[in-house]
Amino acid sequence: MTARVAITALLLLCLHFAPALANDRMLLYDAEGLKIRAHLQAGLNGVIENNLFWNFADSLAPSADYNPRKQWLEGYIKPGISFNNDLNERFHFYGKASVVASGTLGTDAYDTGNTGRITLEEAHLGLRTEISAGTVLDFSYGPREYKIGTGMLIANGGNSGFERGALKFGPRKAWKSAAIAKLSYEDFSVTSFYLQPNELPDSSSNTQLLGTELRYDWGTDSFAGLTYGHVIKSNAPYPQAAPDGIGAPSIIPDARKGLNFINVYAIGKPLPHIIENLIAGGEFAYEWNDRVDLSAWAGRVYVGYNFTDTAWSPEFAVAYQTFSGDDPSTSRLERFDPLFYEGNPSSWSTGSKSSMVFINSNVSAYLVSLRVRPTERDTFTLRYAHIRANELRSPIQFGQGTRVETNDGVPNPIAGVTKHHLSDDVILEYNRVLNPHTYLTVGLSASFPGSGIDSITHNKAPIWAGGFANVVVNF
């Protein structure tokens, strides 16, 4: 499916059907314990970028003739249908199916454009049964969305962009295959899972993993949990820093296979009866793999407060997150594998623009956000991120920036950066609720390069700036 066909169909659908759907006609059938409901998500997004990737291409790949100024239009449609059938008072049978049609017009940040695809998104069936009062067993199988905790490691099961289009939107979230069994008792639950991501065919890691999550929910958006996971199959490679950072990084094939991880998290209102609007959280993850002698870690602390009694109800939050990098002075591999994290500015992305370059490995960031609501339908959000490299001369994203530098008259290839400060990212977003199902978002963002980025280009790198405007429909 071409990008032009996908986006044209999206326009026709939104313009023609959205007014009728606003009357909640998505419930198709409701009788004798059976409910069938239609679903629809759709979006259009216009993007403009200048000095993409701080003009790295001019220094590192001048022959590529990469244009650092891009503008493109992307869109997606995600129609679906779900059902819930009450077989009797104890057994409930359910399922959902959906597809994603996405496309891009113009050339996006990764030099891909005028392309699009239709792919299966969800297609799962489930059975939920009440074993006793307060005790519920729920089992489902098939492609579906599934997220653990805050999304630090397990959240985004699908890939978009490149030949699938819709790079910024990233409409695919469902796992290609998921088997999930959940046993709940009041506020406690234990979930066992098997997951296989829906990756791009040309760059699939063939990863398969399984694990178990223990979770306790003590209030609205307040929860704590512990997760253990194990990668049973994968051909994803890992980069490893050269000894003392002198030389190109080596690539360890199939390194993710056998990875183990533990993820502990808690977030919510710690003092609901004393400081009602205070939100705090902490998270820690540890990874190990004896096959490749890997030992890595990551963590985050978060504190926020909502001034509900003040005009515009400002909400202020600060956070610090860090992900270990490979120490060039050791033979052990310390590079953190972020797996399938939730990569958006309100979740686990490291910077608004820098997250397009640096995955959550060998980076740390101080994060500040301020959100105000002048009206019930209008929201402004300002986010700032100060981003640093944890290990010098060590891969940040598969050895990006590998180059030759001369020390004491001796030329040596190195990777990563030679100074810690990578960038300072700022993004300002405006969101307008047009109606209960339609949302407008406009954003401006900029990334100011630090001394670490300058150490790659050997010059003062330019400011990477851009903006976007999108409309999203969700029924």
Q: Check pLDDT > 80 for residue 358.
A: yes
Q: Check pLDDT > 90 for residue 413.
A: no
d(CA 461, CA 440): 33
Residues 266, 269, 273, 274, CA torsion sign: positive
pLDDT value, residue 1: 45
pLDDT value, residue 455: 85
Percent of the chain exceeding pLDDT 70 equals: 91
Confidence of residue 411 (pLDDT cuts 50, 70, 90): low
442: which residues sit within 8 A by CB, 6+ positions away? 429, 430, 467, 468, 469
**271-310 per-position pLDDT tens digit:** 888 898 999 999 999 999 999 999 999 999 999 999 998 9
d(CA 36, CA 81): 7
Q: Check pLDDT > 70 for residue 405.
A: no
Task: Quote the pTM value.
Answer: 0.91
Percent of the chain exceeding pLDDT 90 equals: 81
pLDDT value, residue 54: 93
pLDDT value, residue 260: 98
Q: Check pLDDT > 60 for residue 378.
A: yes
Tokens of 154: 């397990």
146: which residues sit within 8 A by CB, 6+ positions away? 154, 157, 175, 178, 180, 193, 195
Tell me the three state secondary structure of residue 164: helix
> What's the CA dihedral at 169, 171, 174, 175 to 10 degrees?
-60
User: Which conformational region is residue 156 in: left (phi greater than 0), alpha (psi within -120 to 50 degrees), or beta?
Assistant: beta
**81-112 per-position pLDDT tens digit:** 999 999 998 999 999 999 999 999 999 999 99
**CA distances in angstroms from 285 to 189, 244, 298, 339, listed in the order given:** 20, 26, 5, 12
d(CA 332, CA 343): 28
User: How confident is the prediction for the chain on average, in pLDDT?
Assistant: 91
**143-202 per-position pLDDT tens digit:** 999 999 999 999 999 999 999 999 999 999 999 999 999 999 999 999 999 999 999 998
pLDDT value, residue 221: 84
Confidence of residue 62 (pLDDT cuts 50, 70, 90): confident
Tokens of 158: 């699908």
Residues 37, 42, 43: CA angle, nearest 5 degrees? 160
Number of other residues whose CB lies within 10 A of the CB of residue 241: 30
pLDDT value, residue 19: 46
**209-245 per-position pLDDT tens digit:** 999 999 999 888 899 999 999 999 999 999 999 999 9
Q: Check pLDDT > 80 for residue 36.
A: yes
